[in-house]
Structures are given as C-alpha cells and as structure tokens.
A and B are shown apart, each in its own frame.
Chain A
Amino acid sequence: DTAVSQTPKYLVTQMGNDKSIKCEQNLGHDTMYWYKQDSKKFLKIMFSYNNKELIINETVPNRFSPKSPDKAHLNLHINSLELGDSAVYFCASSQGTGGVIQYFGAGTRLSVL
C-alpha cells in the first residue's frame, strides 16, 4: 500500500498547455510538499501546506497553483507550460511542519515539447 502516491507518472505535453498533477498520502500526515528536481538532480521545494494552509511558497511563477482540498491531498496545476518546466515533480508529506520527510511520491516526469 503506497504511502504517498502521485499521478500521472509521466506527462508529455506541448508548450502553452495546462496540466495538473495529483498527490495523495495515506499516512495521516498534516503537512504536504511539492518539490521540483531539475536535470542536474537539484531538488528544490516549491510549496508546502499544513492542514490545508499554504505555509511555504518559494519564488515559483504564478503559473503554478497548488491546491489542498484536505490534509491527505495536494494537487499542482500548471498553466501555460514552458520548456523550462520540464523536470520531475515530487510530492512528499510529514507530520507537522517540523516533521521528517520520510516518504516521497514516485515522481511525475513532465516533458514540455
């Protein structure tokens, strides 16, 4: 039973399109995250939600909009996709904002053509 699951695993799309990535965790955690890993393997935080409240919002273009309908779900919607958005996006969760991130989702590999 997967702790943090995200869909889709692969996303190939054209520039200018809008796409969404979904994440769900069954660990009962109250904090969820989106990380972006670029081609150089650098893993950088984008957003974090605690109890459905946005608590970390890094300098991410406002084309990226996270949404947390409840504590177990965190989705990421991306408008007007650009070539530079191509990366692997990982979802993660922890218990509390000070909690350890033990589990990441399997990742969504986004390729913008």
Chain B
Amino acid sequence: GAVVSQHPSWVICKSGTSVKIECRSLDFQATTMFWYRQFPKQSLMLMATSNEGSKATYEQGVEKDKFLINHASLTLSTLTVTSAHPEDSSFYICSANPGGIYNEQFFGPGTRLTVL
C-alpha cells in the first residue's frame, strides 16, 4: 500500500508556543491530504482538508487561525498548532488517497502532541 509519513511522532511543548507537524506522501503524489484529531478512546475527527496550492477547507468548529495548514507541494502538507494550550493536546493523524480523494485512504503514523 501507499506510505504516508509524519514528523515528529511525538512532541512536548510549553503553553503558548507553536508546533509544526509534517505529513508526507512517500511514494505517490497527493493533491489532497486530510488532517484528523483523535482523543483517547474516541474515533477520528476530521479537522480539515488540505489542498495543494490553495487554501485548506476546515470542518465546522475548527479554528483556521489556530490550526494553520499549508500544502506547498504534492507530497507535503504541514499543520501548525499556533499558541498551543493544554486543551490542544491530542493525537494528530494525516491521511492521503493516492488514487484520488474518493478511493482507498492511507494514514500516517500520527503525532502525539502534549502541551504543558
């Protein structure tokens, strides 16, 4: 299957700092990538759809100024959590579909963010 990587795998930061998470499609190009958030023992929650070369589409209730998404190339999307607070602590997972956005979806290994 297609491979999606994320970096870092975990990060601990102080409240008020910004954290950038990278998502890369290693063996395919992805014009669209997805960012999810997962709380303990809960399923995934779609945060936003990242579109290469254009603005991301955010789901209702997700603050676009808080979660900045940049999809600068066909293999890289970044999520920046700005002025992070303890309530932003979560597991962030990115995803991409090599065969088009309607087909099989592959996920990165996730990034565990802990804000102190």
Chain A complexes with chain B: no
Chain A residues in contact with chain B, CB under 8 A? none
